Structure 1
Amino acid sequence: MTDLREYFDEIADSVTSTATTDVEADVVRGRRAVRRRRVVQTVAGSIFGVAAIVAAFTIPSAGVGSGPFGPTAAAPPAVARSLDLVAYQGPQPKGFTLDTVPAGWFVQSDARYSLLLAPQGSGAGPDSAAGKIVIYLESRDQNGPPRAGAEVEVGDRDGVLVKSLPAMIPGQSPPPADGDTGWTIWVEQPHGVHLIVQFGEGLGLDREQMVALTAGVHVHEEALQGIG
């Protein structure tokens, strides 16, 4: 009887040991699986995180002037000339003298503060500068160009060609920043004040023509600066 009891005790110990070993093995395998899953998730998250960072800081291949408020120092793109410059034949304005104007254009508004050139047949009145050329002196609270620009030689003076920012019109999509959004040439005068010639967007004048027209603008002593 004693031998039989010892035999069953040994069997019980063996079963218990085997069951315990199997459970421990299952626990180990489960822990390993959890660790592998966490590693995979961590690596995947890192990959997506790095991809997002790279996408956020990648510089567009278009380079200068590719953003809605991108650098303004880029020169105007090469465009087909749709306008020619001709000698100005009309009465000279009050505050400025003109050598040339685009063919078919006239002085729509003339004051000692500013001068507005517009094409013949323009339906917009002198209160609108869209599609026109505005000539004036920088206001008293200005001190040179507001942004960086391209250096240009305007006659015997140095000038700065600045690209205009896209117009933001409520209810309308903004024009592409890399398109012709208009240009402004700043030329410092002997008395330290800048002459400003503002070209509306899409006029059909290339860089050389804009510089040539600006070089033909002469400031009179009675020309006045605006305020604001």
Structure 2
Amino acid sequence: MSIGKNNRLYLAIGASVGFGIAISLGITLLLISKFSGAEFTAFVISFAVLAIAVGFAPELQEISIAGNVVKLKEVKADALKAIESLTKSRVETLRVLLRLIVRSENGPTTIELIDPRIPEFWRVIDLAEEYDCVEQVKKEILIGVPILLVAQMEIISLRSHNRAINAAKFAKEVLEPQELIVLAYDKSSIQSATQNFQKSPYDKLKLELKTSLSEYSRLYQLKEKLETESN
């Protein structure tokens, strides 16, 4: 990573200002007899070395502190290697999490409106966005999304006994959200589902479908976005 001319200038200015303040402080301490002549000299030399180190940090290969040589370039290289290793580990961890989430399949119950794996899936995606590594885990996301879409369709089918939805579900076919919405809101299909929800009348099932369909659409949009970026 290179440092631009502006950054070099800022470093030099900052080092000069810092050195000037140190000189002023040293003179003040000398005048009030807090410093001896030798102490003042050592103080000034120390800050001069520090100012040079800061001002010319990009060019320095090594610096000696109390007889100990610190190789700055090697320290920087080691730090960069550690950061690179950490980044790779983080990406691999996210990949594993995405795979595990979609594999932990539990059949949906009549209570759920959203497949329980989906919130966890979104949390991992949020982490990928935060770490700026969505591109590196895109493959795992695109593998997982269709699985979760079919699972969400299963939940929708519990509240709308539509033959087309059931056929798509069993064939693991991902329907477009608008098509699924039209099929799910079919009045006779919802009425048929009320037989399994004795305490849930037609209007309540229709309201619950809205939540389930909204999550389906959100996942589908993610799938479309990533597929478009890949082309």
TM-score range, shorter chain: under 0.3
The structure carrying a bigger strand percent of its residues is: 1
TM norm structure 2: 0.25
TM-score after normalising by structure 1: 0.25
More helix by share: 2
Larger Rg: 1
RCO (CA 8 Å, sep 6+): is it higher in 1 or 2?
1
